[in-house]
């Protein structure tokens, strides 16, 4: 699984010009699923996201997690995180899981965040969404579970 985690002052998702979810201070998580991902991967990634220390403490250091600051989480499924652009200019998405696997794993990720006590909202799986993100900092973290031996996201 891959996640783009952004610390936000607010985030929201609209589908067909209707607001379906919104949060205030917290995290927007863009979540991608690969065909080899498991429920254990979803739970482990959720634990990493919930405990990621990217919020400032009283000294201004990034020392606090979303759990610590009682933040909210907005999870948006995004198969395009598995785009392969190595050949040509049109991305291939063969590295993304099919919806019948991806949807339950996204749900497992969300359920794991709920189980840790976070307030979690979601977009609509498979819908064309308009996502509004007010990134704070900006702070954007890329996570992958399981962690690859040779990270492919090194810049």
Residue-wise pLDDT tens digits, 26-56: 999 999 999 999 999 999 999 999 999 999 9
Specify the DSSP element, H or E, that contains 8: strand 2-15
Q: Which domains does the chain have, with CATH numbers?
A: 2-144 (3.50.80.10)
Report d(CA 97, CA 59) in Å as an integer: 42
Task: Say whether pLDDT at 103 is over 90.
Answer: yes
Confidence (pLDDT) at 4: 98
- Mean pLDDT to the nearest integer, 73-88: 94
- Residues of the chain above pLDDT 70, percent: 95
Confidence (pLDDT) at 150: 62
Report d(CA 96, CA 114) in Å as an integer: 25
In whole numbers, what is the pLDDT of the chain averaged over residues?
95
Report d(CA 41, CA 134) in Å as an integer: 28
- By the 8 A CB rule, do 13 and 129 touch? yes
Confidence (pLDDT) at 152: 60
Q: Please, how many CA atoms are within 13 Å of residue 134, restricted to the half-sphere of its CB?
A: 9
Catalytic residues: 78-80
């Amino acid at each position: 699984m891959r996640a783009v985690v952004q610390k936000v002052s607010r985030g929201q998702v609209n589908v067909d010009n209707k607001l379906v979810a919104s949060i205030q201070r917290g995290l927007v998580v863009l979540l991608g699923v690969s065909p080899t991902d498991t429920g254990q991967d979803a739970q482990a990634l959720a634990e990493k996201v919930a405990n990621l220390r990217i919020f400032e403490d009283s000294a201004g250091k990034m020392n606090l997690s979303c759990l610590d600051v009682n933040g909210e989480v907005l999870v948006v499924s995004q198969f395009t995180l598995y785009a392969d652009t190595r050949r040509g200019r049109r991305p291939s998405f063969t590295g993304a899981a099919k919806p019948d696997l991806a949807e339950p794993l996204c749900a497992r990720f969300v359920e794991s965040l709920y189980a840790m006590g976070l307030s979690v909202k979601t977009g609509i799986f498979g819908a064309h969404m308009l996502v509004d993100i007010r990134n704070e900092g900006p702070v954007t973290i890329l996570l992958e579970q399981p962690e690859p031996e040779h990270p492919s996201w090194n810049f």
